[in-house]
């Protein structure tokens, strides 16, 4: 669908209000009912159907009356909402010509207030050329139903996040400016796609640079998955810039090795075919199960160490799971403990041996002291008990037996009295409960429950009987 921004200047606030109402209704409706649109828009003077008719004329919405009378947003209407938001933010002031078309996006030139030219990428998932999004992307995750507009929004957010993070880590990528809905604003790369370049002054240098980007991305925990001549930009000075990031995955992805080998294979194949570069690769170099390769051979996935960062964790890249995060934290914890233990162990081996010897001597001395203390305590306790019995302060064993008999008789009498008291309390509680039930039921006798009997009684009261 062609983006005609001239219509944008003739749309009123009511038009955008109704467009926003359709967008809000599409959160839980494939086709938004017209009554719901009118209720969400809540225009002051009404006229929602008139506004919808105007939007339908400019192809900003689509009408569907197969099941019920409803509308849905088109990509053009979604474009207008995103562009208007960016204009209100002051990011852009004008939209220029179209400079690129892809299987899932369109790219336009835009300008800022000071005249700086930027690039605007509009994601358009659901085209005939690329509809297998559910099997080739993980935008949906656990969702079963989706709309193409929502998937385009997720793709734009993902690309903006990847572009921002890669720029912060020094990768040659366009500068991310802003993002809204399915639209991403970025700096314009002054160059050409590598597929359009027929000759290079230093093809070997460019080849090494491009191949180094693949390895460097893997060291940061990411794999491009679509690293080919269409997504590599090169300027007049043969400076390389990579683009197109929504499909990037983590090195922990189950198909990470296949994606890595495919990216490397695309670069080798293109440079050998276009620029006639010859590579000294044996037949074994094509085997993905090879552990490590020479500097002259292809880089292998297994030989790359993820030591430069964890961008897949920061950006929640596809394939990076909670289990990988836990394993990574355990590795950090173990390595930190091992390093600290090794440093401390080398410095204090002699000190620990001396302390162990002194601890053993002290333990033997403490055991001897405890044994002597226990014997002294027993002797003193016996002397005190004999003195107390002679003075009559403590009863002897015979006296204890007589006191136990008297206590048994008193206990039987007290048990009988307790059972009598408990029975009395039970009877009082049962009586109180019955009294409450009867009171509660008596309260509802005079209430009017709306039955026939109550209605007839009202009539009799009003007319004095029949």
Residues with catalytic annotation? 226
Other Cβ atoms within 10 Å of 212 Cβ, number: 12
| Encoded tokens for 458 | 């009202």
Cα 19 from Cα 51, distance rounded (Å): 9
Cα 319 from Cα 251, distance rounded (Å): 7
Q: For the residues of 101-112, what is the DSSP string, one character each?
A: E-SSEEEEEEE-
Which residues, at least 6 apart from 83, have a Cβ–Cβ distance to it below 8 Å? 5, 8, 92, 95, 183
Cα 159 from Cα 157, distance rounded (Å): 6
Other Cβ atoms within 10 Å of 301 Cβ, number: 19
| Encoded tokens for 335 | 């390595």
Residue pointed to by tokens 């090879």: 290
Closest CA relative to residue 260, chosen from 295, 192, 195, 306:
306
| Helix ranges, 63-222 (H) | 75-89, 133-136, 148-168, 203-219
Cα 59 from Cα 53, distance rounded (Å): 10
Residue pointed to by tokens 């053993």: 360
Query: Which class for 87: exposed (0-12), middle (13-18), buried (19 or more C-beta within 10 A)?
Result: middle
Q: For the residues of 238-303, what is the DSSP string, one character each?
A: --EEE---TT-EETTSTTHHHHHHHHHHHHHHHHHHHS-------GGGG-TT-S---SSS---GGG
Count of residues in the chain: 466
């Amino acid at each position: 669908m062609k983006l005609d921004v001239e219509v944008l200047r003739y749309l009123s606030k009511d038009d955008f209000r109704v467009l926003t109402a359709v967008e809000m209704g599409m959160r839980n409706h494939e086709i938004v009912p017209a009554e719901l649109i009118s209720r969400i828009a809540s225009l002051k003077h009404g006229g929602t159907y008139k506004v919808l008719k105007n939007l339908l004329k400019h192809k900003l919405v689509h009408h569907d009356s197969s099941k019920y009378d409803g509308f849905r947003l088109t990509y053009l209407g979604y474009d207008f909402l995103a562009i208007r938001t960016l204009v209100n933010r002051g990011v852009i002031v004008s939209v220029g010509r179209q400079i690129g078309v892809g299987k899932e996006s369109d790219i336009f030139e835009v300008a800022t207030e000071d005249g700086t030219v930027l690039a605007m990428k509009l994601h358009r998932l659901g085209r005939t050329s690329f509809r297998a999004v559910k099997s080739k992307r993980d935008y949906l995750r656990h969702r079963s139903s989706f709309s193409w507009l929502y998937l385009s929004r997720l793709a734009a957010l993902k690309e903006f996040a990847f572009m921002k993070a890669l720029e912060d880590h020094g990768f040659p990528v366009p500068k991310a400016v802003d993002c809204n809905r399915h639209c991403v604003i970025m700096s314009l790369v002054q160059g050409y796609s590598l597929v359009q370049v027929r000759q290079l002054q230093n093809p070997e240098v460019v080849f090494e640079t491009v191949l180094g980007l693949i390895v460097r991305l893997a060291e940061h925990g990411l794999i491009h998955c679509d690293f080919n001549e269409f997504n590599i930009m090169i300027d007049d000075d043969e400076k390389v810039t990579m683009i197109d990031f929504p499909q990037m995955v983590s090195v922990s992805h189950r198909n990470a090795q296949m994606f890595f080998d495919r990216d490397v294979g695309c670069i080798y194949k293109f440079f050998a075919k276009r620029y006639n570069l010859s590579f000294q690769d044996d037949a074994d170099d094509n085997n993905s199960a090879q552990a490590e390769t020479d500097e002259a051979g292809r880089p292998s996935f297994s030989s790359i160490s993820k030591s430069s960062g964890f961008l897949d964790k920061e950006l929640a890249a596809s394939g990076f799971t909670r289990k990988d995060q836990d394993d990574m934290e355990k590795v950090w914890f173990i390595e930190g403990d091992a390093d600290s233990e090794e440093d401390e162990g080398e410095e204090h081996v002699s000190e620990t041996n001396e302390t162990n010897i002194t601890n053993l001597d002290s333990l033997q001395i403490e055991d001897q002291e405890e044994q002597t203390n226990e014997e002294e305590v027993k002797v003193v306790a016996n002397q005190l008990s004999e003195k107390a019995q002679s003075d009559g302060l403590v009863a002897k064993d015979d006296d204890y037996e007589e006191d136990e008999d008297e206590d048994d008789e008193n206990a039987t009498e007290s048990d009988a009295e307790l059972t009598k008291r408990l029975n009395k309390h039970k009877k009082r509680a049962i009586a109180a409960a019955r009294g409450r039930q009867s009171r509660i039921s008596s309260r509802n006798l005079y209430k009017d429950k709306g039955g026939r009997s109550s209605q007839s009684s009202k009539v009799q009261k009003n007319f004095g009987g029949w």
